[in-house]
Structure 1
Amino acid sequence: MNAELSVRVHSRLAEVPAKQWDTFGSPDAPLSHEFLSALEETGCLGEAVGWIPMHLSFAAKGGGVPFAAMPAYIKTNSFGEFVFDWAWAEAHSRAGQAYYPKWVIASPFTPVTGRRLLAPAEVPDSSREAMLERAVKAGEAVGVSSMHWLFCTDPVLLEAPMLVQRMGCQFHWHNAGYRDFADFLDRFNAKRRKELKRERRQVLDAGIEIERIAGSQVDAAIWNRFHALYRSTFDKHGNYPALSAGFFHRIGETMGEKIMLVLARRKSNLVAAGFFLVGEDTLYGRYWGASEDVPSLHFEVCYYQGLEFCLERGLSCFQPGAQGEHKVSRGFEPTPTWSAHWIADPRLRAAIARHVEAERLHMEGYMQALECRLPFKKESGC
């Protein structure tokens, strides 16, 4: 494939047909056409929240049918990204420059790792490098201060000299071929295994019944109740509940088996629920809400039910969301994440690169310390 490309900017994902989007390397659930278009068409994005769709598609030079894309958004703030860059915004301000607008390539409000250059596997690196170069030229033409590929796994992005690569940390579970949940627990040391069993028993003793259902099985009443729980929990913690009830109704209809809800009921009353996206080999834990403070209910709904689901389906990875050192004692391992950043101003790019390198050294030490807090039977000198 010729590495010379043309690029087109799309203000609505609907401009790219869903069947065509699916040919771009079969994007996983968080970057699927159904998920991203639902965000746009149910009022979750736009100028009010600072996520303005501005996607890129790529075709051979001279036009033709696109063969690749980047899901991208002009950002007027840093809300909903989970790669914190307020210090970078401040540095731009001190230098007399505006940091916003910037261009972010990611799934909105969804800090999950994966490819950000969406293209079939047979597309060579030379074409992917050309995609990056054309994207940066588009950024220069638009006049953004920077471009950010968040939580990316693309080798081209992580090796590009023009980009600053930033390391982060999340807590992921990896399937080591466990037969079932009991087999997974058998890897734990005796103390932590007993504590985890006690946590699960607390939920049962509170009279809570747990059920897992696919998105296709969720009716309107359950979606409305889940949304109310989600909103109240976000409000309680001072966060902004960006997702509308219409969004959940929409993806329940369009994504079906790619969605899993964990429902927690006391008798017939739904008191808590968790929302998950089901990928090809990964489960993505996203949102939860609860109307009661039941000991260990959060762990059961958001972690243990997800782990059981992965084991039943043979999924290889569970990403339960951003942050949360409490996940380590429950078998989620500190895992490096990466983002790649293009900074327009060369001086600021150099300063940010120095900051990111110092940050990486600190992050590596932090993760190494967390490795020694894993609940597994000791296999090292920690």
Structure 2
Amino acid sequence: MTEPASIIALTASRAAGYPNSSATDLTASRNLQATLDDAKARLQIVNARAELCAHTWDGIEEWVGEDGALGLKDPKIVESDVQAQISFLRKLKFLYLEQNAKDKYVKTIVSDDAPLVTPRLNEELRLQNEEKKTTLREHKGKLAERRDDLRALAGFVEEDYKKAQALTLQASTLSQRILDARLSLTRLRQAHPHPRLTITTANQQLDSQVEEMQALDTELADVNEKIATVRERIKVETGEVERLRVVRADVEKAVEIGAGERVEDERVVGLYDWFSTMTSTHHALLSLLSAHSESDNELRLTYLVHEREVCITLLFIPNTRRLAEARVEGVEENAIGDVVDAHIMANDASGLVWSVLARARAG
């Protein structure tokens, strides 16, 4: 449609180009402009577009896109936002279809040449709708699969997010602790500076170190001497061990030979067992721990009296049964001095032992 301004300009140019035209043409042009202005005022096509863009639809909330102010970090918030967007788009689609249908309907009614609707056209539209529905189903299926994948991964993402958040908090705490420790160390260094080493102090420290080294050298020499002594002792003991091994081997051979021989008197084994039993019983009754002959004329007896060892050493005159001396250990000497002397003069060894044990038990 030709604009009114262009029509007025055309009419004015024609009037200027043809001076012989009548005033009726100018009047007709003005009447046509007035008619077009009335038609424009009645249709309001230009203003309707601006009103449609500025209109706020009821039930549709304002959508916040990627550039919005909300920071979507939590998967649950993302899911709720996606649901809100889907609802918004569905409502927007419905409104679009409604407005498109209204627009087509108005254009069909207002237009002079109405489009011809035939069954063939309807069939083509139906086929197009079927294709679009099939494509839409495929896209919906892909979208559902993607949504399921997102739901499955949401738990792992949430766990990773919590772990990352915990590690971030831990790193922040550790960094703060490190800063506090450095600050404390700096304060300690300022409060307790290292002492400056003077020449006098250095000489004193050197003298003390020299004395300590001399003491350590002396101690090392003593230790080396002890090591040499121990080595000599080990050599002697090793020779003694070898000698005892030879003696043990000879004794074992003698035992094997004695075991192989036949005992003529069968009562020897029984008598030996009886004697061993009686000796053990006698020692237990008398509290005798050990009886050892140091030499041909010296006998050493050890008794256990009240959890205390009492050692009695008896010395005899060689080749006689005469008691010459007696030594007692484990009992106070002032308690048994007269008893020992009296029994030595009487040559009573058994009486001496019993008297000493009686005094020890009584004390």
* Superposition TM-score, scaled by structure 1 size: 0.16
Q: Say which structure, 1 or 2, has more relative contact order (CA 8 Å, 6+ apart).
A: 1
Higher helix share: 2
